[in-house]
């Protein structure tokens, strides 16, 4: 039976450098034991350090785990793309929760950066805004 942590999905999750390295291994392997993660990591970390890190990632809701004989096997609870989307959403939500000058600066910087990067991307942003306005309009009716 696969277990998922009870971590609340609406709380921002912060990861340290070792946690990110371990997540990269699990995303690449998709199902692995502590020993397999230790072997895949470039650094010479203690087994117990990696075991503790995997347990923390499980408790943060990023890994699922199942018991096989005497060891846990870990697998990603979300893809690396889902993780990046969550991280970006948390970052933007943090800025938008701030005072009005910070929100204005965020939006202005975002539009400037997108415009400098790619005009097509700016068009896609405009289309996403239009669709979101339509969704909000339908929801309030």
Pair (104, 65) in one structural domain: no
Measured distance CA(67)–CA(1) in Å, rounded: 7
Pair (74, 6) in one structural domain: yes
Q: Total domain count for the chain?
A: 2
According to the model, what pLDDT value does residue 2 have? 46
Enclosing domain of residue 56: 2-78
Pair (9, 42) in one structural domain: yes
- Cα 111 to its chain centre, rounded Å, is 23
Q: In degrees to the nearest 10, what's the CA dihedral of 116, 122, 123, 128?
A: 170
Measured distance CA(34)–CA(65) in Å, rounded: 11
Look at residue 5 and tell me whether its pLDDT is greater than 70: no
The answer to whether position 91 is within a domain reads no
Look at residue 10 and tell me whether its pLDDT is greater than 80: no
Asked which of 46, 78, 110 is the last residue of a domain, the reply is 78
For residue range 104-132, list pLDDT tens digits in order: 888 888 888 888 888 888 888 889 989 99
Report the sign of the C-alpha dihedral through residues 19, 25, 30, 34, in that order.
negative
Tokens encoding 86:
């969550």
Residues 6+ apart with CB under 8 A from 29: 36, 37, 40
- Write b or e for each residue in 24-44: b if 16 or more Cβ atoms lie within 10 A of its Cβ, otherwise e: ebbbeeeebbbebbbebbeee
Look at residue 141 and tell me whether its pLDDT is greater than 80: no
Look at residue 11 and tell me whether its pLDDT is greater than 70: no
According to the model, what pLDDT value does residue 38 have? 95
- Cα 79 to its chain centre, rounded Å, is 8
The answer to whether position 92 is within a domain reads no
The answer to whether position 27 is within a domain reads yes
For residue range 14-36, list pLDDT tens digits in order: 899 999 999 999 999 999 999 99
According to the model, what pLDDT value does residue 7 have? 53
Pair (45, 15) in one structural domain: yes
Residues paired with 71 in a beta bridge: 68
Pair (8, 74) in one structural domain: yes
Measured distance CA(114)–CA(48) in Å, rounded: 44
């Amino acid at each position: 039976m696969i277990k998922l942590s009870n971590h609340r999905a609406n709380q921002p999750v912060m990861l340290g450098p070792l946690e990110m390295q371990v997540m990269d291994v699990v995303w690449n392997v998709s199902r692995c034991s502590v020993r397999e993660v230790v072997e895949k990591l470039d650094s010479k970390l203690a087994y117990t350090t990696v075991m503790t890190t995997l347990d923390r990632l499980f408790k943060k809701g990023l890994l699922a785990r199942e018991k096989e004989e005497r060891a846990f096997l870990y697998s990603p609870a979300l893809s690396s793309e889902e993780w990046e989307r969550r991280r970006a959403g948390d970052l933007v939500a943090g800025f938008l929760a701030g005072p009005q000058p910070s929100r204005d600066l965020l939006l202005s910087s975002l539009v400037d950066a997108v415009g400098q990067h790619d005009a097509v991307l700016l068009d896609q942003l405009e289309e996403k805004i239009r669709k979101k306005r339509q969704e909000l309009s339908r929801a309030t009716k």
